[in-house]
Amino acid sequence: MKNVMKIFTIAILTLAFSSCRDRATEKRLADVESRLAQLEAKQPAKFSANPPTNAPTVSSTPETKPEGPLAEIKYDNNTFDFGSITEGQKVSHTYKVTNTGNAPLIIQNAQPSCGCTVPEWTKTPIPVGGTGYVKAEFDSKGKTGMQNKTITVTANTWPKVTQLTFRAQVNAK
């Protein structure tokens, strides 16, 4: 049985290495081979300390809320409906942001869910009680049907990430 497993493992590795020379794939296959050897020896698996570079990294300890005063982001509305628009039309909406926390609010990034959306945001610190914005411009070129998009906003708040959403019914020209 052991020899069959080794032959099977060698065959898989040979096939994988000959079909793809990707370093991340090689690393994953080496990890699988190592785990298989440990299972055959009835030892607990020890996973690689260095995950493949294209794999998402997951922290084993959850982030904790920072101590001290924090900014707090409040949106006038975190969802918006453009209604029906025609394919190729560009539309935009500005989400109003208010800092309801105890420290200046700094919006570090606004990441759209796809390339058809371009975000803009207040780049300067928003004082306590002050207002700013996150603007979303949606280009419906090549899009038809119901479109649901998000913008992930990262700021010096807790939690660090919030989401804005919008939708549009895009009708063909």
pLDDT digits (tens, 9 = 90+) for 20-42: 445 566 666 666 666 666 666 65
Confidence of residue 87 (pLDDT cuts 50, 70, 90): very high
Strand partners, 150: 165
Tokens standing for residue 125 = 């610190």
Q: Which residue has the higher pLDDT, 82 or 4?
A: 82
Confidence of residue 142 (pLDDT cuts 50, 70, 90): very high
Residue partners of 23: CB distance under 8 A and separation at least 6 = 53
Q: Choose among 136, 140, 138, 141: nearest CA to 151.
A: 136
Cα 27 from Cα 147, distance rounded (Å)? 38
Dihedral, 63, 46, 48, 17 alpha carbons, nearest 10: -140
Cα 149 from Cα 85, distance rounded (Å)? 15
Q: Tell me if 152 sits within 8 A of 96, measured CB to CB.
A: no
CA-based end-to-end distance of the chain: 64
Cα 71 from Cα 23, distance rounded (Å)? 42
- What pTM does this model have? 0.64
